[in-house]
Amino acid sequence: MPEKYHIETTHMPPRLPRIGKYGIIDWREDCARCHNCVKKACIYDKYREESKFIKSLDSIHTIYFECMGCFSCVQNCTKGLLCLTVNPEYKKLGNEYWTPEIFRTTWLQAETGKVPVSGAGYRGKFYGPGFDSMWTDMSEIVRPTRDGIHGREYISTSVDIGRKPSFLTFTGDKMTSSLSSLLSVPLPVIFDMTSPYHTLPVLEPSIIEAARKTGLIAIIDSKKWHLIKNYDEKYLSHIAFHLNPDSHDIPQEILNKTRLVEIPDSDHIERHINAIRNINPDIVIAIRLPLTPKSVDRSIELAGMNVEVIHLVADQKGNELDSKKPRFIKDMIRDIHGRLIKDEKRDEVTIIAGGGIGLPEHLAKAVICGADLVSINLPLLIALECRLCDSCKPGDYCPAELDKNIDIEYGAGRMTNLMGAWHWQLVEVMGAMGMREARRLRGDVGRAMFYEELQNEIYGPIFST
């Protein structure tokens, strides 16, 4: 029986009071003290829990919202005093891309490691910008996998990083092709560098520990080498250093023991690649390429230069950089993927897509659009209860108290839980599609539906004049 990929999760409750979506406001001056709300209406006992919690605090430094939003207390209050509102603190989380809903679900997954499940139907927008304008397909009756819910453990989410030769050559029985190094990760995810803003003491160590626990790889800025230089060798296979051409922070013997490095794109890329190859001929080298209007052409160019891995990085909201009309990362990946196929280079280069990947469905959709894997950083930060308030500079007040000592086990545990939940959600989506292999999902746009295409194909003939 093949070994199954499994991420061990443990319950990791939040350090801070939760920021719930709802809150109950009451006007106690007219309260009849009937306790309908406390004893009868609230089936969750949230009133009692709230009271217990507040009493336990040294000072009431935050509002506590655990309400489930069922309106039972509102409608059963004898005096009609109660009012249910959306918590203003919840509404202020994140920004227009990193919505409060992303925080809510990420925190839940980081705490429990479980797939978020709810009752009632979908309650969101019909479609939206970015990844919200596509749907994944499913296979109704005939399923290639022929697995049911009990067979999903055997769905492989592994992907490869590196070059796969398009053919092999042999002389007699001897293979004469030279094979590049290829490494596999069990989930199409790589942990990306965090922003220079996020200079938090435990961030990199937590990310590396989470990478080790999940079997993934974390890209670490070589400037932060000092933070981890005492790490033993078991961590090195889970670290990919981002090397700046002018930086010589990483000792050669360390580079010899790592499997993957990343260098920024430059005019002298081949020279840099050769320099690294001279140190470690087996290392896989990724080129970090900011996603700009020139990226499509540049990706083709890099592939032509036998670059093995291209790491495309959009802004935090998944948008193209340096553009007046920025395109979204999913559309650019489709372009690059399509061009690489046309140039017969697709299997020779690995595409990592980063920027705007905030949910597991983004991961699945980015892969369907043509990425081999995605890079993430903000979800890891959010797992630590970050609110993306951008108050990270030294001296700023961090409402998530990330600048205080967080135990690395705890930080890594939350991140590991998140990845555990993402893994199972990817499996759910792939299971519905009847896909056994994440490798096969790459670029399989036949397994997706796009809003614009559905509008044109189905509504076009009906509603166009």
Region 345-404 residues binding other proteins, contact defined as CB under 8 A = 359-361, 364-365
Q: How far is the CB of 368 from other proteins (least distance, A)?
A: 11
In the complex with other proteins, the residue whose CB is nearer, 139 or 391, is 139
Residues in contact with other proteins, counted by CB under 8 A, come to a total of 71
Dist. CA 213–CA 11, nearest whole Å: 15
Q: Does 119 bind other proteins (CB under 8 A)?
A: yes
Indicate the burial class of 412 (C-beta count within 10 angstroms; 0-12, 13-18, 19 or more).
buried
Pairing status of strand 284-290 against strand 170-171: unpaired
167 lines the binding site for other proteins (CB under 8 A): no
Query: Site for other proteins (CB under 8 A): which residue of 283, 429, 438, 441?
Result: 429
Nearer to other proteins, 137 or 160 (CB): 137
- Residues 6 or more apart whose Cβ sits within 8 Å of residue 420: 7, 8, 9, 109, 113, 214
Nearer to other proteins, 150 or 174 (CB): 150
Give the C-alpha distances (Å, rounded to integers) separating 182 from 102, 163, 164: 34, 6, 8
Residues 9-48 that bind other proteins (CB under 8 A): 22, 42-44
Residues 99, 136, 180, 237: which binds other proteins (CB under 8 A)? 136
Distance of closest approach, residue 457 Cβ to other proteins, in angstroms: 9
CB 400 within 8 A of CB 62: no
Q: Minimal distance in Å, beta carbon 367 to other proteins?
A: 13
Binding mask 430-449 for other proteins (x = CB under 8 A): -xxxx-----------x--x
Choose which of 4, 28, 55, 146 interacts with other proteins (CB under 8 A). 146
Contact 361, 340 (CB under 8 A): no
Name which of residues 58 to 97 contact other proteins (CB under 8 A).
68-72, 74-78, 80, 83-86
Q: Which is nearer to other proteins, 7 or 217 (CB)?
A: 7
**CB-CB neighbours of 202 under 10 Å:** 20
Residue 383 to residue 415: CA distance in whole angstroms: 6
Q: What is the DSSP string of 149-170?
A: GGGGGG-B--EEEE---S---E
Looking at the Cβ atoms of 45 and 343, the one nearer to other proteins is 45
Q: Which of 13, 124, 281, 394 binds other proteins (CB under 8 A)?
A: 124
Instruction: Please state, in angstroms and rounded to a whole number, the distance separating the CA atoms of residues 364 and 442.
Output: 9
The answer to whether 63 and 23 have CB atoms below 8 angstroms apart is: yes
Angle between helices 329-342 and 360-369 (to 10 degrees): 30
Round to whole Å and give the CA distance between 12 and 232: 26
Question: In the bound complex, what is the minimum distance in angstroms from residue 99's beta carbon to other proteins?
Answer: 13
Residue 141 binds other proteins, judged by CB under 8 A: yes
Q: Which CB, 50 or 137, lies closer to other proteins?
A: 137
Q: Which is nearer to other proteins, 27 or 197 (CB)?
A: 27
